[in-house]
Structure 1
Amino acid sequence: MMREILINLPIESHEVPNLRELVGWDGRHSDYPTLFERCNFWAGLRVEKNNELIAFGYVAGMGLQHGYMEDIIVHPQYQKKGIGQSLVKKLLQESERVGLEIVTLTYDSKHASFYNESGFKPCSGGLWRKKD
């Protein structure tokens, strides 16, 4: 059984990197706990049986009009059950509660329908990346 998705759920520094690695991403262990200090807010979900973190996402920005949503992650064993959309919905509700008027994100095109169903509209933009 799962618990409720919570805003600013207490999370240990190793938990998000571990979850990132479970979905095939770089763990980025050095980002934590700094991320929790710098982002506007985050949301997470744990399973009741062992208190394992199975979903995570956050919104960063200046806390003014605009925020950026990032790292929507759901443990592979719990994907395709509506948890990701519930996580995004919770983050958007919190965005609205704190006064954000615009939330943007970037995503792989294979996830376009997920984000469209979650209320995001495709738009143009740009991406800069540091050269290796």
Structure 2
Amino acid sequence: SAAWGAPAPRDFSPILSRSLAHIGAYHDNQLVGFVNVAWDGGVHAFILDTSVHPDKRRQGIATRLVREAMRVARERGAEWLHVDFEPHLTGFYRACGFRPTKAGIIKLV
């Protein structure tokens, strides 16, 4: 919740139970980073919710999380790894090896 500026922790168990993987980074037994790898049940996996505690940013944690997500997704049969991100994260994801694609999104609620 500190990474997202959320007031209270949220129950992620329904989301994580459907994930291909979820990866955490810890410091002194405290969760300081997280990434969720969702998938379509086939060859496409999706990085969601890459997060690092504000006090631990700019130390390579997010890069290591994304690389581990790539490794695990490949190991579990995914052939493609997708990620959507805000414009200010373009440099980060390009440095991780992602290339730009055209995509669309619609807000349902």
Q: TM-score, normalised to structure 2's length?
A: 0.91
Q: Cα offset for 1:63?
A: 2.9
Aligned partner of 1:33: which letter?
S
Structure 1 vs Structure 2: percent identity of aligned residues? 23
Unaligned 5+ segments in structure 2 are: none
Q: Cα offset for 1:60?
A: 0.6
- After superposition, residues 17-36 of structure 1 pair within 5 angstroms as 21-26=1-6, 29-30=10-11, 32-36=12-16
Which residue, out of 71, 82, 85, partners 2:63? 85
**1:41 paired to 2:59:** no
**1:124 paired to 2:105:** no
Does the residue aligned with 1:22 lie in a helix, a strand or coil? coil
- After superposition, residues 7-26 of structure 1 pair within 5 angstroms as 21-26=1-6
- For residues 40 and 88 of structure 2, the distance between their equivalents in structure 1, rounded to whole angstroms, comes to 29
More helix by share: 1
Unaligned 5+ segments in structure 1 are: 1-20
- For residues 81 and 103 of structure 2, the distance between their equivalents in structure 1, rounded to whole angstroms, comes to 13
With over 3 angstroms needed to count, the CA separation of the structure-2 counterparts of 1:129 and 1:37, relative to structure 1, is same
- After superposition, residues 96-107 of structure 1 pair within 5 angstroms as 96-107=74-85
- For residues 46 and 99 of structure 1, the distance between their equivalents in structure 2, rounded to whole angstroms, comes to 26
- For residues 126 and 114 of structure 1, the distance between their equivalents in structure 2, rounded to whole angstroms, comes to 21
Misfit runs of 4+, over 3 Å: 24-28
More strand by share: 2
- For residues 120 and 25 of structure 1, the distance between their equivalents in structure 2, rounded to whole angstroms, comes to 26
Q: TM-score, normalised to structure 1's length?
A: 0.76
Q: Cα offset for 1:25?
A: 4.3
